[in-house]
A and B are shown apart, each in its own frame.
Chain A
Amino acid sequence: MKIILVLLALLGQFNALAFNHTGFLKGGISTGLAELNSLGKKDFFMGAGFNTHAGYRWIDWEFQLSSYIYIAKMDPGMDFESNGERAQANGNLRNVSFTPMLKYLSKLAPRKSWKLYFSAGPMISLQSIKLKSFTRQDGVQAQNYKVTYQSYGAALAVGMEEITAFKQMHPVYLEIMYQIQRSHKSTLNDASSSKSVLTIQDEGTSKKTLNQMIILSFGMTVF
């Protein structure tokens, strides 16, 4: 009788620890390829960054808020137009995206104790591009400026995640994501100080650009 009670208590404990019906935080590293369209030509940039996901898992479904931060070196630089001025950028491109995602853990298992999953969601993002040289409208040649584009889009991901008995075993995931986004607003900023950024001009983007990214992510459940 004692043994049965102990087993029942242990089973209850395992169920409480099982990775379902619980909140989670996941994080990892990413690498990928970004395609930016400017002045009628396409530029490709390889970069790296990290991804984080906070959400809730039922059994096969998860809802999560995801963020992908991606930094790429723009070398060779990229020519583009901002506020009627031509400029050249060859610093860093920073892309920060936020996506509320619905994720389905399928029954498909490409490997033992791994499950294939699919996730999708709308996306908002901000691309920041540092400008090497820029001629302001008052004729002054300026440095340390940055242009930011706010974009709307969507993200679609397929990946596989380790299925473990407990969340405390920190299951690992590997994912490939496709993002497509269209800019709707651009801002020119004086970024000479790392602590405060002065917005010089704020305007809607007359030429809306369509950008795409493919991101490969690798990470784990932190808790």
Chain B
Amino acid sequence: MNLKPLLLLIFFLPGIGYANNNPKGTGIGKKRIPKNTYSYPTRQHTVGETMKYIGWMYGLTWAVYPLTQWNTVRDEGSWKKYRHNFGKMVFDQDEPFWNWLVHPLSGSQLFLYYRALGYTRPHALGLTFISSALFEFTVETYTEPASVQDFYQTPVLGSLLGVGIETLSLYLLNTGNAFGKFFGHIINPFSLFWFYEGKVQVFPTVHKFRGKNVGGLSIMASF
């Protein structure tokens, strides 16, 4: 058995560790300063603003539903069925794949959409309930009646999952490295949109105040 590569690896590993702790030399060990800081600031919204955001999401669901479930819409949907299903609510017979995975995943993205717009977590939960109910009662009725499980589980399990995704994505995005930023945005795509209010640039400043040099932080956010 050739132990040469293993011995070389053992020999070099402590060296790599030393280089990592040594700021001198080629730049290894320098602190990474993220260009942007990601967070979820919250603010008050007017009723008109909230209606507008609900309306955007409602319009989007009309487009996303046939795009993501074209076969179901084509094979099982009709306007006759829509009239028949409208206003009905039943227990669906779906398997956990749909009720405990797909619907909570879509609910989590609804939750993160409202969080990106600056709503608090309880408000985002309430708005996720509204958006989800609008989808259940007026969009999905094209193929099937509204479901009791989806009405509850999409916003509630979705918000629980949304809190987890939010925390993980902030951690990844604030690492400042390419891997963290890539996966942070993948799991939380609304952090990429122009309406996301939590992306800010923070940098230290020194300015004169009453004749003295005072340190501070400048925060830049775009809207």
Contact A67 B123 (CB under 8 A): no
Contact A24 B160 (CB under 8 A): no
Which of the residues A67, A94, A197, A222 comes within 8 Å of B153, measured between beta carbons? A67
Map CB proximity to A onto B107-145 as digits: 1 under 8 Å, 0 otherwise: 000000000000001110110010000000000000000
Complex: chain A residue closest to B99, CB-CB: A96
Contact B160 A25 (CB under 8 A): yes
A194 at interface by CB-CB < 8 Å:
yes
Which of B91, B148, B149, B156 has the largest count of A CB atoms less than 10 A from its CB?
Answer: B91
Across-interface contacts of A69 in B (CB, < 8 A):
100
Tell me how far the C-beta of A125 lies from the nearest C-beta in chain B, rounded to whole angstroms. Answer: 9
A23 at interface by CB-CB < 8 Å:
yes
Complex: chain B residue closest to A67, CB-CB: B152
Across-interface contacts of B163 in A (CB, < 8 A):
222-223
Complex: chain B residue closest to A149, CB-CB: B91
Which of the residues A25, A98, A187 comes within 8 Å of B122, measured between beta carbons? A25
Contact B156 A23 (CB under 8 A): no
Across-interface contacts of B159 in A (CB, < 8 A):
25, 54
B97 at interface by CB-CB < 8 Å:
yes
Complex: chain A residue closest to B159, CB-CB: A25
B70 at interface by CB-CB < 8 Å:
no
A38 at interface by CB-CB < 8 Å:
no
Contact B91 A148 (CB under 8 A): yes
Which of the residues A25, A148, A189, A197 comes within 8 Å of B125, measured between beta carbons? A25
A/B pair count, beta carbons within 8 Å: 58
Contact B91 A150 (CB under 8 A): yes
Which of the residues B95, B97, B98, B149 comes within 8 Å of A126, measured between beta carbons? B149
- Measured CA separation A54–B151 after assembly (Å): 12
Across-interface contacts of A27 in B (CB, < 8 A):
160
B93 at interface by CB-CB < 8 Å:
yes
A65 at interface by CB-CB < 8 Å:
yes
Across-interface contacts of B152 in A (CB, < 8 A):
65, 67, 98
Which of A54, A189, A199 has the largest count of B CB atoms less than 10 A from its CB?
Answer: A54
Which of the residues B91, B94, B121, B155 comes within 8 Å of A223, measured between beta carbons? B121
Contact A25 B156 (CB under 8 A): yes
Contact A195 B98 (CB under 8 A): yes
Contact B125 A23 (CB under 8 A): yes
Q: Which of B157-178 contact A (CB under 8 A)?
A: 157, 159-160, 163
Across-interface contacts of A199 in B (CB, < 8 A):
93
With A25-B122, A98-B152, A223-B121 as given contacts, are A195 and B91 in contact (CB-CB < 8 Å)? no
Complex: chain B residue closest to A65, CB-CB: B152
- Measured CA separation A65–B123 after assembly (Å): 16
A191 at interface by CB-CB < 8 Å:
yes
Complex: chain A residue closest to B155, CB-CB: A54
Across-interface contacts of A94 in B (CB, < 8 A):
96
- Measured CA separation A27–B121 after assembly (Å): 15
Contact A195 B97 (CB under 8 A): yes
Across-interface contacts of A90 in B (CB, < 8 A):
none
Contact A54 B156 (CB under 8 A): yes
Contact A187 B160 (CB under 8 A): no
- 16 A-B contact pairs sorted by A residue (CB < 8 Å): A23-B123, A24-B122, A25-B122, A52-B157, A52-B160, A54-B125, A54-B156, A65-B152, A67-B156, A94-B96, A148-B91, A193-B95, A194-B97, A195-B97, A199-B93, A223-B125
Binding site for B on A (CB under 8 A): 22-25, 27, 52, 54, 65, 67, 69, 94, 96, 98, 124, 126, 148, 150, 187, 189, 191, 193-195, 197, 199, 222-223
Q: A25-B121, A194-B95, A195-B97 are in contact. List 10 more A-B contacts (CB 8 A).
A: A23-B125, A52-B157, A54-B156, A54-B159, A65-B152, A67-B156, A98-B152, A126-B91, A193-B95, A223-B121
